[in-house]
Amino acid sequence: MKGQSTALVGIDWGMTHRKVWILDPGGGLVRRHEDRMGTQLMTEGYEASLRALLEALEIDSADVILTGMAGGRNGWKDTPFLAIEHPLTRLDQAMVPIETAIRGTRLRVVPGYRYIDSHGLPDIMRGEETLVLGGCELGGSGGWFLLPEARSKWVHVSDGRITEFMTFMTGDLFSLLSNQGTLHAGDACKTTVPEAFASGLRAARQGGFTHMASSCDAMIACGMMPDSHAASFLSGLLIGAELFEMVKKAGDAFSEPVQVMGAPALASRYLNALELLGIPARAWQLDSAYVAALGVLFGLPAK
């Protein structure tokens, strides 16, 4: 890319991975790059890491927008959260500049959002707001967006504004229980077993997650479930607990499709669970959503 005009670069800097999208002047995706240089795994400072990245990608001049943990408390620049009253459609106006010594580089970071629920408890997000903006740009009509990750986010949007959001530690709990806990799931086959997943989903309907989780171990001990089904049962139980909590909260709002954006393997589990529960859903491709959001943030003409 040496010698071309200023590259438009979006970087989602997570805790373990760094994802990069490079756009042409019209907003088309030129190249995507991903590495394990997240905020917890970097071996050098942010500026040195970005300089090395741009050199590796042969980019001489760049307009860079950062999302994710680069704007967090331990990130490149601690960027205050936005209140949900700030419209997603004006997210470009809230970006915070970062001074850099990298020649030919303009650098800005997208702030995340904070939300205080009716019980006075806070919730926060950094990075997901960009994907939700992209989903809206792709044609999302608002309603509930679901972003499954290690900590999944449910974000409700109306008229271009976030009205509320919730975080669930579903993926973190699965990792802890299956790999470090006493359940058998850590030694089991991690390939999804559909009938075991559906069984876990049904069990979640009963509530009492901590009790139901123990049944995973008990069913194996009693010969009622093979070890190879344990991970899928636990996954169904955890995702089911999350979904039933949202059903209780959202009620009739689920008459409109839940809009799912996530890595294909994990998103497919949630889409399967939503289908089994009779909840309408549609999926947005992550790259498409992020690129659409970058178009707004860079101020490019709408396509």
185 domain-assigned:
yes
* Mean pLDDT to the nearest integer, 237-261: 90
Domain count, the chain: 2
Cα separation, 188 vs 177, in Å, equals: 12
- Taking the whole predicted model, whether its pTM rises above 0.85 is answered as yes
Span 20-29, pLDDT tens digits: 999 999 999 9
Q: Which domain holds residue 278?
A: 168-283
Same domain, 172 and 257: yes
Span 158-215, pLDDT tens digits: 999 999 999 999 999 998 888 877 666 655 566 789 999 999 999 999 988 888 888 8
64 domain-assigned:
yes
Span 66-114, pLDDT tens digits: 999 999 988 999 999 999 999 999 999 999 999 999 999 999 999 999 9
CATH of the domain at 53: 3.30.420.300
Cα separation, 131 vs 136, in Å, equals: 9
52-56 long-range contacts, CB within 8 A, separation 24+: 53/18, 53/20, 54/9, 54/102, 54/105
